[in-house]
């Protein structure tokens, strides 16, 4: 299938008082139309920075990117500023973690949708308003014809996230980046929003990059997953491969750290130590200081090795058999 978004060798640098630091290193990621790909990692792994870099939303005065993000034949990272503004919201959209603060509190939600339509298409006010009601129906907002006149504070968190999705998808973009879209929602609302994203992606062929810290969310929603650690992708494979037989010790550690009903009160695996600061990244494998399988060879830089549609950034992956989410469960 043709790639809707192809990110190649993306690196992101920030200027800090201590000098330039690299927040994302050499990240490549491909999403096909109608596919939902997970980008999973803990805080500080660089997943949100990756998303903002692809969207061109990092402040240019303190950040710098290299690499490319191909949307069809256009490279988002090389587009002129005015062309990039036009592409945002029309060809590639983004939704955010906090639906409570992501909408402008002073404008009616209908107006927030119609201004998006009118920023990208030459249509009448009337047509844009009709479009707003239709997209709100699509995202499952009850009573959309009346709700267009509501202000964000009159809606619940789940409703607001539906409105955010409506704004993002109203121009039928090829790609949607969803950055922790359900993290601040109740679990029953989360299930509905994830279901909605999957349904819309299937119906419109939208390619979705789903950023989350929750492997459960990935398992429920995505087909493939990229695991990020300290600014790098450490593993890329199908969700089932990652959960059944992870090849990177960090992926395995994340899985083992989740409480499981079958192992009630048994000690969970807890990855020792913490993510190194950007100013003091190990020169070799970045996970080496926290890895219980580390050996002498791990002090050298680890390339992302690709084989059979999987990619792993671990020199020892051939010799290790790491536990996944099904180990200890009756098969």
- Does position 102 interact with another protein (CB under 8 A)? The reply is yes
Report the nearest approach of another protein to the CB of residue 218 (Å).
7
- Does position 83 interact with another protein (CB under 8 A)? The reply is no
- Cβ-based nearer residue to another protein, 39 or 254: 254
What are the distances in angstroms from CA 96 to CA 6, 211, 263? Answer: 21, 10, 34
- Both tokens of residue 82? 């005015």
57, 78, 300, 301: residue in contact with another protein (rule CB under 8 A): 57
- Cβ-based nearer residue to another protein, 2 or 273: 273
Handedness of CA 300, 305, 311, 317 (dihedral sign): negative
Cα 219 → chain centroid: 14
- Does position 120 interact with another protein (CB under 8 A)? The reply is yes
Report the nearest approach of another protein to the CB of residue 119 (Å).
5
Stretch that binds another protein, among 9-17, 23-31, 69-77, 250-258 (CB under 8 A): 250-258
- Does position 94 interact with another protein (CB under 8 A)? The reply is yes
- Cβ-based nearer residue to another protein, 303 or 309: 309
- Does position 80 interact with another protein (CB under 8 A)? The reply is no
Report the nearest approach of another protein to the CB of residue 265 (Å).
6
- Cβ-based nearer residue to another protein, 216 or 303: 216
What are the distances in angstroms from CA 103 to CA 128, 130, 175, 254? Answer: 19, 20, 20, 33
- Cβ-based nearer residue to another protein, 26 or 119: 119
> Binding pattern to another protein, positions 190-229, x when CB under 8 A?
xxx-xx-----------------xxxxxxxx---------
Report the nearest approach of another protein to the CB of residue 77 (Å).
16
Report the nearest approach of another protein to the CB of residue 242 (Å).
8
Size of the site for another protein (CB under 8 A): 78
1, 78, 145, 257: residue in contact with another protein (rule CB under 8 A): 257
Report the nearest approach of another protein to the CB of residue 238 (Å).
9
Report the nearest approach of another protein to the CB of residue 210 (Å).
12
- 3 state SS for the chain: CCEEEEEEEEEEEEEECCEEEEEEEEEEEEEECCCEEEEECCCCCCHHHHHHHHHCCCCCCCEEEEEEEEECCEEHHHCCHHHHHHHECCCEEEECCCHHHHCCCCCCHHHHHHHHHHHHCCCCHHHHHHHHHHHHHHCCCCCHHHHCCCCHHHCCHHHHHHHHHHHHHCCCCCEEEEECCCCCCCHHHHHHHHHHHHHHHHHHCCEEEEEECCHHHHHHHCCEEEEEECCEEEEEEEHHHHHHCCCCHHHHHHHHCCCCHHHCCCCCCCCCCCCCCHHHCCCCCCCHHHCCCCCHHHHCCCCCEEECCEEECCCCCCCCCCCCCCCCCCC
Interactions with another protein, residue window 258-287 (CB under 8 A): 258-261, 263-265, 267-271, 274
Report the nearest approach of another protein to the CB of residue 10 (Å).
18
Report the nearest approach of another protein to the CB of residue 67 (Å).
20
- Does position 304 interact with another protein (CB under 8 A)? The reply is no
- Cβ-based nearer residue to another protein, 8 or 86: 86
Distance CA 54, CA 70 (A): 9
- Does position 159 interact with another protein (CB under 8 A)? The reply is yes
- Does position 103 interact with another protein (CB under 8 A)? The reply is yes
């Amino acid at each position: 299938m043709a790639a809707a978004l192809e990110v190649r060798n993306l690196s992101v640098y920030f200027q800090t008082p201590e000098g330039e630091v690299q927040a994302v290193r050499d990240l490549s990621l491909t999403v096909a139309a109608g596919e939902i790909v997970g980008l999973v990692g803990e805080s500080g792994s660089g997943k949100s920075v990756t998303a903002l870099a692809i969207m061109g939303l990092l402040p240019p005065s303190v950040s710098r990117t290299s690499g490319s993000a191909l949307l069809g034949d256009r490279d988002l990272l090389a587009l002129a500023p005015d062309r990039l503004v036009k592409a945002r919201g029309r060809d590639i959209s983004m939704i955010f973690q906090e639906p409570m603060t992501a909408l402008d509190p002073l404008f009616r939600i209908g107006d927030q949708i119609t201004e998006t339509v009118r920023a990208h298409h030459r249509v009448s006010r009337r047509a844009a308003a009709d479009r707003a009601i239709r997209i709100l129906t699509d995202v499952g907002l009850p009573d959309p014809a009346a709700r267009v006149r509501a202000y964000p504070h009159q809606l619940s968190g789940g409703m607001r996230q539906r409105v955010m999705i409506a704004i993002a998808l109203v121009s039928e973009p090829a790609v949607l980046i969803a950055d922790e879209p359900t993290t601040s929602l109740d679990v029953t609302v989360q299930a509905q929003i994830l279901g909605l994203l999957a349904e819309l992606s299937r119906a419109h062929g939208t390619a979705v990059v789903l950023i989350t810290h929750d492997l459960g969310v990935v398992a429920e929603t995505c087909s493939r997953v990229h695991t990020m650690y300290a600014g790098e992708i450490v593993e890329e494979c199908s969700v089932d491969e990652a959960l059944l037989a992870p090849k990177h010790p960090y992926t395995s550690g994340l899985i083992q750290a989740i409480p499981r009903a079958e192992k009630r009160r048994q000690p969970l695996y807890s990855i020792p130590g913490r993510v190194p600061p950007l100013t003091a990244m190990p020169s070799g494998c970045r996970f080496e200081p926290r890895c219980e399988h580390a050996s002498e060879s791990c002090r050298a830089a680890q390339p992302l090795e690709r084989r059979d549609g999987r990619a792993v950034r671990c020199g020892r992956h051939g010799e290790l058999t790491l536990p996944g989410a099904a180990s200890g469960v009756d098969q």
